[in-house]
Structure 1
Amino acid sequence: MLTTQELPRWDMTVIYPDMEAPEFEQGFAANIRAVDSLSALFDQHHVAEHTALTVDDALVTAFEEVIARYNEVLEHIETLYTYISCFVDTNSEDTLAQAKLSELMNVYVLLTQLGTRFTAWVGSMDVDALLARSGLARHHEHMLRRAQFRARHLMSSAEEMLASELNISSGMAWGRLHGNMTSQLKVSLDVDGVTKEYPISAVRNMGYSPDRNMRKCAYEAELAAWERVAVPLAASLNSIKNETNVLARKRGWSSALEATLFLNSIDQQTLEAMLEAARESFPDMRRYLKAKARALGLQKLAWYDLQAPIGQSEKSWSFEEAQLFIIEQFGSYSPRLAGLAEQAFNERWIDAEPRPGKIDGAYCAGLRPGESRVLANYSPSYDSVSTLAHELGHAYHNLNMRDRTTLQSGSPMTLAETASIFCETIIRNAALKNASKQEQLAILASSLQNSCMIVVDITSRFLFEQGVFEKRQQRELSVDELKELMLDTQRLTYGDGLDEAALHPYMWAVKGHYYNSDYPYYNYPYMFGLLFGLGLYTRYQQDPEGFKQGYDDLLSLTGMVDAATLAARFGIDIRTKEFWCSSLDNLRKDIDRFEELVKTF
Structure 2
Amino acid sequence: MLNTDRRRLLAFGAILPFASATPAFAQAMADGVTGGDWDLSELFPDWTAWETARQAVLATLPRLAAYKGHFGHGPDAMAKAMADISDVSKDAVRVYIYAHLSADADVRVSKNQEREGQASDMFTALSEATSWVSPEVLALGAEKVNAYIAANKTLQDRFAFSLSQTLRGADHVLDAKGESILASSSAPLTGPDDVRSQLTASDMPRPTVKLSDGTEVRLDDQGYSLNRDAPNREDRKLIFSEFWDSYAAFSNTLGAAYTSKLKGDVFRAKSRNYPNTLSWALDGPNIPEGVYRTLVEEVNRGLPQLHRYFDLRRRILGLPDIGYYDIYPPLVTLDRKFTLPQMRAITIEALKPFGPEYGKLLTDATTKKWMDPNPRTGKKSGAYMQGGAYDVHPYLLLNLGEDFDSMSTYAHEWGHAIHTLLSKDNNPWETYDYATFIAEIASTANEVFLSRYMLDRAKTKQEKLFYLGSQLEAARGSFFRQTQFAEFELKAHELAEAGEGLSGEKYAEIYYDILRRYHGPNMILPENVAHEWSFVSHFFRSDSFYVFQYATSISAGTWFADQIMNGGKKEQKAMIDVLKAGGSDYPIDILKKKAGLDMTKPDVYRAFVAKFSETMDEIEKLL
**TM-score normalized with structure 1 length:** 0.90
Matched residue, 1:390 = 412
Q: Which residue of 2 aligns with 1:460?
A: 484
Q: Which residue of 2 aligns with 1:181?
A: 199
Decide whether aligned partners of structure 1 residues 355 and 239 sit closer, same or farther in structure 2, where only a CA change above 3 A counts: same
- Matched residues in 1 for 2:251 and 2:563: separation? 45
Partner of 1:50: none
1:208 partner SS: coil
The Cα shift of 1:230 comes to 2.2
1:573 aligns with 2:598: yes
User: 1:296 Cα deviation (Å)?
Assistant: 0.8
1:82 aligns with 2:97: yes
Paired residues for 1:44-193 under 5 Å: 44-46=67-69, 58-114=73-129, 116-125=131-140, 126=142, 127-139=145-157, 140-169=159-188, 171-184=189-202, 185=204, 186-191=206-211, 192-193=213-214
For 1:470, what is the secondary structure of its paired residue? helix
Structure 2 distance, partners of 1:383, 1:251, is 41
Secondary structure at the counterpart of residue 13 of structure 1:
helix
String of CA shifts for 1:153-207, please: whole Å, max 9, x gaps: 13443333233323323x2122111111112243322234365645321122211
Residue among 448, 457, 473 paired with 1:425:
448
* Residue pair 1:302, 1:503 contacting (<8 A) in 2 also: no
Shift in alpha-carbon separation, 1:578–1:318, aligned structure 2, 3 A: same
CA distance in 2, matches of 1:475, 1:393: 41
Q: In the alignment, which residue of structure 1 is the partner of 2:518?
A: 493
Mark the CA change 1:497 to 1:420 in structure 2 (over 3 Å): closer, same or farther.
farther
CA distance in 1 between counterparts of 2:92 and 2:582 reads 21
* Equivalent residue in structure 1 for 2:255, among 227, 234, 238: 234
Q: What is the alpha-carbon distance in structure 2 between the residues aligned to residue 459 and residue 367 of structure 1?
A: 27
Instruction: Please say if 1:199 is aligned against 2:199.
Output: no
Aligned counterpart in structure 2 of residue 302 of structure 1, from 311, 314, 323: 323
Q: Residues of 2 paired with 1:340 and 1:452: CA distance?
A: 31
Higher mean Cα deviation, 374-383 or 494-503?
494-503
Residues 534 and 311 of structure 1, relative CA distance in 2, 3 Å threshold? closer
Distance 1:150 1:231, change over 3 A: same
Asked if the contact 2:244–2:532 (Cα under 8 Å) also holds between the matched residues in 1, the reply is no
Distance 1:134 1:497 in 2: 65
Q: Does the 8 Å contact 1:204/1:219 carry over to 2?
A: no
1:546 maps onto 2:564 in alignment: no
Report the counterpart of residue 333 of structure 1 in structure 2: 354
Deviation, 1:327, is 2.1
The code of the aligned residue for 2:267 comes to V
For residue 259 of structure 1, report the CA deviation from its aligned partner. Answer: 0.9
- 2:37 paired residue number: 9
TM-score, with structure 2 as normaliser = 0.87
Distance in 2, Cα, partners of 1:574 & 1:195 = 47
Distance between the aligned counterparts of 1:298 and 1:160, measured in 2?
A: 58
Q: Give the corresponding residue for 1:405.
A: 428
Task: Give the Cα–Cα distance (whole angstroms) in 1 for the partners of residues 481 and 398 of structure 2.
Answer: 21
Taking only the aligned residue pairs, the percentage that are identical comes to: 20
CA distance in 1, matches of 2:309, 2:297: 19
Following the alignment from structure 2 to structure 1, what is the Cα–Cα distance between the partners of residues 533 and 147? 48
Provide the C-alpha distance between the structure 2 equivalents of 1:497 and 1:39, rounded to a whole number of angstroms. Answer: 64
Pair 1:79–1:439, CA change in 2 (3 A): farther
> Partner residue of 2:30?
none
* Alignment RMSD (CA, Å): 2.4
Report what 1:287 is aligned to: 308
Q: What secondary structure does 1:355 align onto? A: coil
Cα distance change of structure 1 residues 593 and 121 upon mapping to structure 2, 3 Å threshold = farther
Q: 1:482/1:275 Cα in 2 relative to 1: closer, same or farther (>3 Å)?
A: closer
Letter in 1 for 2:156: R
Judging changes above 3 Å, is the alpha-carbon distance between structure 1 residues 318 and 502 closer, same or farther for their aligned structure 2 residues?
farther
Contact 2:578/2:595, CA 8 A, preserved across alignment: no
Question: Are 1:219 and 2:244 an aligned pair?
Answer: no
- Residue 260 of structure 1: how far off its partner (Å): 1.4
Q: 1:579-590 counterparts in 2 under 5 A?
A: 579-590=604-615
Tell whether 2:529 aligns with 1:514: no
CA shift for structure 1 position 93: 0.8
- Specify every segment of 5 or more residues in structure 2 that has no aligned partner in the other structure, as ranges: 1-7, 12-33
Aligned residue number for residue 49 of structure 2: 26
Change (3 A) 1:311 1:502: farther
Q: Is the Cα–Cα contact under 8 Å of residues 263 and 412 in structure 1 kept in the other structure?
A: no
Post-superposition offset of 1:254? 0.3
The 8 Å contact of residues 87 and 94 in structure 1, kept in 2 or not, is answered as no
Partner of 2:4: none
Matches of 1:563 and 1:514 in 2, distance apart? Answer: 22
Structure 2: distance between partners of 1:530 and 1:115: 37
State the Cα distance separating 1:497 from its structure 2 match. 6.1
Q: Secondary structure at the match of 1:386?
A: helix
2:403 corresponds to: 381
| Secondary structure, aligned partner of 1:371 | coil
Count residues in correspondence. Answer: 580
In the aligned structure 1, how far is the partner of 2:52 from the partner of 2:236?
48
Structure 1's unaligned 5+ residue stretches are 48-52
The answer on whether the counterparts of 1:203 and 1:222 sit within 8 Å (CA) in structure 2 is yes
Query: Is 1:419–1:533's contact at 8 Å kept on the other side of the alignment?
Result: yes
- 1:261 counterpart (269, 279, 282): 282
Residues of 2 paired with 1:461 and 1:554: CA distance?
27
Q: CA deviation at 1:151?
A: 3.7
**1:530 maps onto 2:551 in alignment:** no
Out of 394, 402, 422, the position equivalent to 1:372 is 394
Offset at 1:532? 1.6
Cα distance per residue 1:412-451 (max 9 Å; x no partner): 2211112112211221111111112212222222232121
Shift of the 295–490 alpha-carbon distance from structure 1 to 2, 3 Å rule, reads: same
Give me the whole-angstrom Cα distance separating, in 2, the residues matched to 1:304 and 1:112: 46
Counterpart residue identity of residue 377, structure 1: N
The verdict on how the C-alpha distance between 1:420 and 1:174 changes in structure 2, with shifts beyond 3 A counting, is same
- Note the C-alpha offset of 1:476: 4.0
Paired amino acid for 2:551: M
Residue 303 of structure 1 and its aligned partner are, at CA, apart by 1.9
- Higher mean alpha-carbon deviation, 397-406 vs 490-499, is at 490-499
Q: Relative to structure 2, which stretch is displaced further, 34-43 or 401-410?
A: 34-43
Query: Offset of 1:515 from its aligned partner?
Result: 0.7
Amino acid of the structure 2 residue aligned with 1:382? F
The AA in structure 1 aligned to 2:430 is L
Which string of whole-angstrom CA distances, capped at 9 and with x for unpartnered residues, describes residues 5-34 of structure 1?
x994322222234xxx3xx32333324323
Asked if the contact 2:121–2:187 (Cα under 8 Å) also holds between the matched residues in 1, the reply is: yes
Instruction: Check whether the contact 1:64–1:136 (CA below 8 A) recurs between aligned residues.
Output: yes
Aligned AA (2:221): I
Partner of 2:332: 311
Task: Decide whether aligned partners of structure 1 residues 187 and 344 sit closer, same or farther in structure 2, where only a CA change above 3 A counts.
Answer: farther
Report what 1:414 is aligned to: 437
Task: Report how far residue 582 of structure 1 moved.
Answer: 2.5
Q: Is the 8 A contact 2:511 2:530 kept in 1?
A: yes
**CA 1:585–1:558: 2 relative to 1, 3 Å:** farther
Q: 1:122 to 1:44 in 2, by over 3 A?
A: closer
